[in-house]
Structure 1
Amino acid sequence: MRIEISVETITGVDIAARYRVDRVELCGALAEGGLTPSRGLLELAVRRAEGVEVHPLIRPRPGDFRYTPVEIAVMTRDIRAAVGAGAHGVVLGALDADGLLDTEACAALIEAAEGRPVTLHRAIDASASPRRVLDQAIRLGFARVLTSGARHSAIDGAAAIAALVSQADDRIAIMACGGIRASNAREVIAATGVRDIHAAVRTPVRGAAAGAVSFLGIGVPDGFDHFDTDDGGVAALCSAVTGKPQAAPREFE
């Protein structure tokens, strides 16, 4: 089994390195579904990852995955910058007006990755036909697909994920996501047959008292400031998946 953790801070990268997960999906603005992280964040993440692969998300804006030529140009430049910063791979996706992969755009983005593995993200879950998109992804040379089975959670989409695993037939990796935690990881694995799982294990962080103007992120509870990676949650997830006890959480510099 391979474990990927979605993070948006160096604290998250440090936690992933501590528990030796296989990959981090490095993002900005997870409250917006994830956006392309800054180059500074990526460079430091690669430096501190300690053997954990760092795969930045390439997503230029919130919203759907139908991008203009100018947005594709931005994504291409972001991928080249990520490669230059030492990224081990990238995570991306683009749909056309029919809700299938924009094959011309995806081919150009994959080429920009210069041979690094490319993950097709949850654009597949917003597509007109995940099964047809999977075939497209295989032909284009994507390394893996991140999916919740086009449902809110991997548990709800387990049957659809299992169907994609069968369709993939080891030609591409299927990575399950959507509400995966220590409490349900084994259930998801058993129900889907995946060998890769992805989780955004986050916890709210207390901040300074808010003034008249608030800049709180989406969904942050009252009395807290933002979300960050949950050390104990990652430890529990890794233990549940691998069956090996994890070290106690610690504070990071």
Structure 2
Amino acid sequence: MAQAQAVRVEIGVETLGGVGIADAAGADRIELCTGLLLGGLTPSTALVAQSLELASRTKVQVLIRPRPGDFRYSPAEVALMRADIGQVRRLGAAGVVFGVLDEEGQVDTAAMATLMEAAGDMEVTFHRAFDVCAEPYRAFEQIMELGCARLLTSGRQPSVIDGAALIGKLVTRAGGAIDVMACGGLRADNAAEILERTGVLDVHAAPRIAVPGLIVEGSEVSFAEPGVPQDFDHFEADAAGITALCEAVARQG
């Protein structure tokens, strides 16, 4: 009787505190970024370097995304992404996370190829640009042909629960050629259901809690954008949520 394969947990973090929490909880990988409220942006080289020093067992994957918004990038932006990938590679990260679409919403295979070349022997994850591409099955074949190690997806739905059917189809279609990693509201209390419904061996989550900021009496200034915590609040990785997820996934193995 074949043994069940262990499921790998990746945690999205944007601070050194988050790196330490994910590492202590036993996460297999960290997706390091900044600006999670914007969907994630490229972190500074200093944050990457210090995260690599801090993570004792967890592999560090670095998000390469030069700006918020869509995933159609100008030649200058692609050049910047290539330069960031080179910096991350020299620092010794295990992998990078990026995705580029063209004007028709298809995978921009030319831009992806130049970025894949810059990544060299690092693992490459094609991120959730897939979830807004024009033709998912065509895109999936292109992503596999490019040689990406994994695809991060919510199944083209806001919630992984709603996207589970498509994720399961992608896992079957991949046939082990690429790892399909489920994300999108995945937490300890629904991890078992998602694993059963999709067959994935990789899950991704970024559990966070709001940290109240210092309120100065008499000040009317706020730097918060609409829809984000008010005043000077910020988010930090949720230690309890991350630990619970890692434990829940380990029980399924």
| Same fold? TM cut 0.5 | yes
Alignment-mate amino acid for residue 43 of structure 2: P
Alignment-mate amino acid for residue 204 of structure 2: H
Task: Check if 1:198 corresponds to 2:204.
Answer: yes
Give the total of aligned pairs: 244
- 1:165 corresponds in structure 2 to 171
Percent of matched pairs sharing the same residue: 51
Alignment-mate amino acid for residue 143 of structure 1: A
Alignment-mate amino acid for residue 76 of structure 1: R
- 1:78 corresponds in structure 2 to 84
Alignment-mate amino acid for residue 143 of structure 2: A
> How far, CA to CA, are the matches of 1:17 and 1:241 in structure 2?
15
* Alpha carbons 2:222, 2:231 under 8 Å: kept: no
Give the Å deviation of 1:150.
0.4
**Alignment partner of 1:157: what SS?**
helix
- 2:3 corresponds in structure 1 to none
> How far, CA to CA, are the matches of 2:171 and 2:100 in structure 1?
21
* Alpha carbons 1:217, 1:225 under 8 Å: kept: no
**Alignment partner of 1:45: what SS?**
helix
Task: Check if 1:117 corresponds to 2:123.
Answer: yes
- 2:184 corresponds in structure 1 to 178
Give the Å deviation of 1:97.
1.5
**1:48-103 alpha-carbon deviations (Å, 9 max, x no partner):** 01020011100000000010000000000000011111211000000011211100
> How far, CA to CA, are the matches of 2:120 and 2:29 in structure 1?
19
Give the Å deviation of 1:207.
1.4
> How far, CA to CA, are the matches of 1:219 and 1:20 in structure 2?
32
Task: Check if 1:68 corresponds to 2:74.
Answer: yes
Matches within 5 A, 1:1-253: 1-209=7-215, 211-216=219-224, 219-222=227-230, 225-243=233-251
Give the Å deviation of 1:219.
3.8
**1:175-209 alpha-carbon deviations (Å, 9 max, x no partner):** 00000011111111111110000001111011101
> How far, CA to CA, are the matches of 1:218 and 1:148 in structure 2?
24
* Alpha carbons 2:154, 2:164 under 8 Å: kept: yes
* Alpha carbons 1:5, 1:199 under 8 Å: kept: yes
* Alpha carbons 2:37, 2:228 under 8 Å: kept: no
Mark the CA change 1:218 to 1:176 in structure 2 (over 3 Å): closer, same or farther.
Answer: farther
> How far, CA to CA, are the matches of 2:230 and 2:118 in structure 1?
42
**1:134-154 alpha-carbon deviations (Å, 9 max, x no partner):** 100111100000000000011
> How far, CA to CA, are the matches of 1:233 and 1:223 in structure 2?
25
Give the Å deviation of 1:214.
1.1
* Alpha carbons 2:8, 2:202 under 8 Å: kept: yes
Give the Å deviation of 1:220.
3.8
- 1:250 corresponds in structure 2 to none
Stretches of structure 2 lacking an aligned partner (at least 5 in a row): 1-6
> How far, CA to CA, are the matches of 1:214 and 1:183 in structure 2?
35
* Alpha carbons 2:183, 2:205 under 8 Å: kept: yes
Report the TM-score, using the length of structure 1 for normalisation: 0.93
**Alignment partner of 1:91: what SS?**
strand
Alignment-mate amino acid for residue 94 of structure 2: H
